Amino acid sequence: MTLEIQNLHVRTEEREILHGVDLVVRRGENHALMGPNGSGKSTLANTLMGNPSYEVTEGRILLNGEDVTDADPDERAKAGLFMAFQYPATIPGVSVANFLRMAVNAKREEPIKVKEFGRLLGESMDLLRIDRDFTSRYLNEGFSGGEKKRAEILQLAVLQPEFAVLDETDSGLDIDALRIVADGVNRMRVPERGFLIITHYTRILGYVRPDFVHIMLDGRIVREGGPELADELEDKGYEWVREEVAASAP
């Protein structure tokens, strides 16, 4: 079971941003995609989830062997793909619990029964150590940065996707909020689920250790390796990668 990106070229507003990206995430694996601001990381995340603002001009996205390049976002979600956004939306008047129930029902043929949903929600909150009153609040209204990210991780726990894309989930978090997010991700790491963690910082990787690290510059993945690559990046910075890429160019 894989999330596979093949030779992906993506453009928006008459400008190509991704120039042939190849990446494979298997269930049970934890991948980190790193790169400075403007390197194309969030473009890749939005393209994976089917944001219509991003046009795929070449290449394919395969989910468990099925081509989902042109699939609608809800179809991708039903097929087992989940995305935690860098800036989660606020929905006044809709409680966290009601939002989660609607999200669960969107993936099902028959609506989930109230008792079954209550059990699922309770188990997920226990797993993530979230207080029960959290789900009665309106989604992200008045939430701190850490609470918004906690709500996203709770969605992940309830929806149980096969592949989760976390788009700069660590952005703007203080150390306590970062630990909350990292702890939630670690609790959700199981052999049946693959993660793609997109970040330009190495700090979250001190809590969520990746199996594989990919470095993106200017719309291309230019370096790949194990967790030691993130450690090297922490020591040397992105300029080191740029210099190596320039030196190896024909």
d(CA 7, CA 152): 30
**DSSP calls for the chain:** -EEEEEEEEEEETTEEEEEEEEEEEETT-EEEEE--TTSSHHHHHHHHTT-TTSEEEEEEEEETTEE-TT--HHHHHHTTEEEE-SSPPPEEEEEHHHHHHHHHHHT-SSPPPHHHHHHHHHHHHHHHT--GGGGGSEETTT--HHHHHHHHHHHHHHH--SEEEEESTTTT--HHHHHHHHHHHHHH--TT-EEEEEES-SGGGGTS--SEEEEEETTEEEEEESHHHHHHHHHH-HHHHHHHHHHH--
- Rounded CA-CA distance 177/191 in Å is 26
Q: Is the dihedral of CA 160, 7, 199, 84 positive or negative?
A: negative
**CATH domain 2-89+162-248 topology:** Rossmann fold (3.40.50)
Q: What is the pLDDT of residue 86?
A: 67
Distance CA(109)–CA(243), nearest Å, equals 53
Cα–Cα distance measured from residue 88 to residue 94, given in angstroms and rounded to the nearest whole number: 14
From first CA to last CA, the distance across the chain in angstroms is 37
**The model's pTM:** 0.90
Q: What is the pLDDT along the chain (250 residues), one digit of tens a residue?
A: 899 999 999 999 889 999 999 999 999 999 999 998 889 998 999 999 899 999 999 999 999 999 999 999 889 988 899 988 767 778 889 999 999 999 999 888 899 999 999 999 998 888 888 888 899 999 988 888 778 888 888 888 999 999 999 988 777 777 877 887 788 889 888 999 999 999 888 888 888 999 999 999 999 999 999 999 988 888 888 888 888 888 877 6
> Taking a C-beta distance cutoff of 8 angstroms, is the pair 189, 162 a contact?
no
Could you give the CA distance from residue 56 to residue 50 in angstroms, rounded to a whole number? 10
Nearest CA to 36 among 186, 218, 177?
Answer: 218
Write down the domain spans for the chain: 2-89+162-248
Tell me, what's the pLDDT at 144?
81
Going across the sheet that includes 30-34, the strands are 81-84, 163-167, 194-199, 30-34, 212-217, 220-225
